[in-house]
Amino acid sequence: MPPLIGRRRLLKYAAAGLSMAAVPGAALAQTAVQRPPKQTATDEFSVSAPVSIEVNSRPLPSFDTRDRSRVRFGELEYRSGLILTSRFRGFGGLSGLRLDAKGERFIAISDKGGWFTGRIVYKGREMTGLDDVEASPILGPNGKPITARGWYDTEALALDGSLVYVALERVNQILRFDFAKGFTRAHGELIQLPLGVRKLPYNKGIEALVVVPKGLPLAGTLIAISERGLDAQGNITAFLIGRTLSLFSIRRSDNFDVSDAVLLPSGGLLLLERKFSWLGGVGIRIRRVALASIAPGAVIDGPSIFEADLGNEIDNMEGIDVHVTAEGDTVLTLVSDDNFSMIQRNLLLQFTLVE
Check which CATH number belongs to the domain holding 229 and give it: 2.120.10
Residue in 321, 330, 322 with CA at minimum distance from that of residue 353? 330
Whether 34 maps to a domain, the answer reads no
Residue in 249, 293, 298 with CA at minimum distance from that of residue 269? 293
The helix/strand/coil state of 206 is strand
Q: Which helix (H) or strand (E) holds 5?
A: helix 3-8
Whether 232 maps to a domain, the answer reads yes
**Domains of the chain: total:** 1
Distance between CA atoms of residues 328 and 208, nearest Å: 26
Whether 341 maps to a domain, the answer reads yes
Query: What domain range is 103 assigned to?
Result: 51-353
Report which residue type is found at 341. S
Q: Are 210 and 170 in contact (CB under 8 A)?
A: no
Q: Which helix (H) or strand (E) holds 83?
A: strand 76-86
Whether 301 maps to a domain, the answer reads yes
Q: Are 91 and 119 in contact (CB under 8 A)?
A: no
Q: What is the pLDDT along the chain (355 residues), one digit of tens a residue?
A: 333 334 344 433 333 333 333 344 455 654 333 444 444 454 555 545 789 999 999 999 999 999 999 999 999 999 999 999 999 999 999 999 999 999 999 999 999 999 999 999 999 999 999 999 999 999 999 999 999 998 989 999 999 999 999 999 989 999 999 999 999 999 999 999 998 998 899 889 999 999 999 999 999 999 999 999 999 999 999 999 998 899 999 999 999 999 999 999 988 999 999 998 877 788 999 999 999 999 999 999 999 999 999 999 999 999 999 999 999 999 999 999 999 999 999 999 999 999 7
- Characterize the bridge pairing of strands 245-250 and 299-300: parallel
Whether 208 maps to a domain, the answer reads yes
Whether 257 maps to a domain, the answer reads yes
Whether 19 maps to a domain, the answer reads no
Whether 6 maps to a domain, the answer reads no
